[in-house]
Amino acid sequence: MCIFCQIINNEIPSCKVYEDDKTLAFLDINPVNPGHTLVIPKKHYENIEEISEEDLAAVIASVKKVGRLMKDKLGAAGYNVTLNNGAAAGQDVWHLHFHVIPRHDGDGHKTWARRKYSDGETEMIIAKLIS
């Protein structure tokens, strides 16, 4: 059983932020910023491709609630919502989870590096995506 399923089953303690019948939100044990929260479906799904539309909608609704809590209760100026989907994207727990990270002006955290498309690259990418 995965570590998040153990948390859902109260076999491992967690600091719960929010819970409803389909989702659970709890503090990340290695936060980017204080209040960094993980939002998960209670049903085990490995990644976003596996989750049902109904359960995904419930998870996103909980992400929205947690984000609002960060602004209202922690005074966050904003928040990042991230999903590491697959090993290449940095997923290291194989239970779908969204990170909701409170952000404050001047907190020093960057999102990610950006780059420009090379000549012809956008056309090649679009052709692959829509074919």
List, by residue number, the catalytic residues: 97
Q: How far is CA 12 from CA 1, 54, 92, 122, in A?
A: 12, 27, 18, 46
The two tokens of residue 71 are: 């602004």
Spatial separation of the C-alpha atoms in residues 54 and 41, rounded to whole Å? 11
Residue 81 phi/psi, 5° resolution?
-120, 120
